[in-house]
Structure 1
């Protein structure tokens, strides 16, 4: 699809040079046939090294920055959301059961649906009613329990356990908003990577990234009913207890422990060996080797002292 066809359909005018559009990508990955966007001024410096063929930027910057590949729009995020609709892909190209590429001692139970170009490693088990979409790769000694759904392009390592009802690679919760309050879906083109020795509990949801990968690193252990948003990176040997919710682009170092119902804001980093007590609300980056609790979040010893003081006050 050519750039001018897209711009005409979403009612944007530009005198930028036309080209055949291959994909939508972030500035650091985009090539001359790709579209990208900038919705915050702090990212304008990325234009310098980008090879993107076209970039949506805010029309308020017209005359202030000079690049030949800019398309000035009122709302770059919204323009990008509309554009993404033209590039969404199907999870399963063929509705017939496909025989996956398997190694020895693989067990696949009845009721399982497997898409095209699926690979399953040695000694792995796929239990009943699992859905595996196209282009999924599953390693050795991995067990997938009943009713798990694994979306397209997911990569699962060796010695992984995924318990019943979990969803791996579903769309991230990403929308742009119009002036009149409609929510325009941003299509997600990335995937999920689950490294070796990971265990994922029942009814966990892990969203795929917008462009690149949501990653669960080696040895992480995830309890039941955990939500991990798009673009998150969960560090090695991290433990997430039941009902933890990570907003998009949350990242952790190694050996992080989050108690039940901990939640994070988006684009938060939690350092190595950090512990967050149950129901802690993480709204800022947390430095390594620290302990936190409460809402608003504070260092754990301060939070405990505060509760002791409150209890004393109620007794008077």
Structure 2
């Protein structure tokens, strides 16, 4: 049946708040729930059992699958792809905007609160406010079970054309530039900043508030404990220029062998 606000088509079993707008050319399937002040753009297909939270704006051509849950304050723009077909509600988006031509795989969580706490004068652990957003650029791919936290003092930002593997943790206030590649099990602590064309190998860790220059590549299992200001390859724990890390590794092996021979 046609919807009075916008002229889109609804299934009779869909639940749509009276304040929502479903534009002409949009289709809302059976069991979908459209919240207060939601705008569903023309050409959008909202699948069965999708829940679209308050104040969400869904742009032209976005087609949420039946296994996708959208929470409040989202902005989903043209041609976003949500790859999420295995189990209900296995992609969770809240307090975020997602750009054009993005792909988000199963189990990803974007826009939830970051890990921010402090101990007050009475010795009680208190939560720091987490009230800003996660902003995902255009043509970004986000792997399965990756988490991207919302910001607290600045928005969490993922630049255009960045590709993120499975099982990656990106903390609150992190800013990642364009065309970066982040491999599986990477952990980026809060308020870190990555430039453009950064490559992080598997299980790399970035300390909080660290800045990584553009065109830096970090070898797998490396830990960046301080700013890296020059482009190039780095590795180790803590991360140093790659040739220095290789020398350290060789010297350690020689020392270990010499010590063993003396015994």
What TM-score does the superposition give when structure 1 sets the normalisation length? 0.66
5+ residue gaps, structure 2, are 1-31, 85-89, 259-263
User: Secondary structure of 1:173's match?
Assistant: coil
1:229 touches 1:249 (CA, 8 Å); kept in 2?
A: yes
Distance 1:128 1:288 in 2: 46
Distance, in Å, in 1 between the alignment partners of 2:174 and 2:56 is 24
Q: Which residue of 2 aligns with 1:164?
A: 106
Matched with 1:221 is: 163
- Alpha-carbon distance in 2 for matches of 1:288, 1:196: 27
Separation (CA, whole Å) in 1 of partners of 2:206 and 2:221: 10
Matched, 1:195 2:137: yes
1:262 aligns with 2:179: no
- Separation in structure 2 between the aligned mates of residue 172 and residue 221 of structure 1, nearest angstrom: 21
Give, in whole Å, the separation in 2 of the partners of 1:248 and 1:274. 19
Quick one: which of 112, 125, 131 aligns to 2:50? Answer: 112
Task: Give, in whole Å, the separation in 2 of the partners of 1:260 and 1:202.
Answer: 15
CA contact 1:113–1:129 (8 Å) conserved in 2: no
1:125 corresponds to 2:63: yes
Q: 2:33·2:49 contact (CA, 8 Å) conserved in 1?
A: no
Q: What is the CA–CA distance in structure 1 between the aligned matches of 2:247 and 2:153, rounded to whole Å?
A: 44
- Aligned residue pairs: how many? 221
| RMSD between superposed Cα atoms in Å | 1.9
Compute the displacement of 1:314 (Å): 4.1
Partner of 2:254: 312
| CA-to-aligned-CA distance 1:57-109 (integer Å, 9 cap, x gap) | xxxxxxxxxxxxxxxxxxxxxxxxxxxxxxxxxxxxxxx92164233432322
Counterparts of 2:237 and 2:121, CA distance in 1: 32
Alignment partner for residue 184 of structure 2, among 238, 242, 245? Answer: 242
3-state DSSP class of the match of 1:125?
Answer: coil
Question: Counterpart of 2:94?
Answer: 151
Q: Deviations over 1:233-257 (max 9, x none)?
A: 0111111111111111001110000
Separation (CA, whole Å) in 1 of partners of 2:239 and 2:154: 30
Contact 2:106 2:145 in 1 (8 A): yes
Which structure has the highest helix share of the two? 1
Q: Secondary structure at the match of 1:176?
A: strand
Q: Does the Cα contact within 8 Å between 2:190 and 2:208 map onto a contact in 1?
A: yes
Whole-angstrom distance in 2 between the partners of 1:192 and 1:104: 25
Contact kept, 8 Å, 1:128 with 1:145, in 2: the verdict is: no
TM-score scaled by length of structure 2: 0.79
1:97 has 2:33 as partner: yes
Gap regions ≥5 residues in structure 1: 1-95
The answer for the alignment partner of 1:299 in structure 2 is 241
Q: Distance in 2 between matches of 1:287 and 1:264?
A: 14
2:189 is aligned with 1:253: no
Q: Could you tell me how far apart the structure 2 residues matched to 1:239 and 1:204 are?
A: 14
How far apart, CA to CA, are the structure 2 residues paired with 1:128 and 1:236? Answer: 31
Q: Which residue of 1 aligns with 2:214?
A: 272
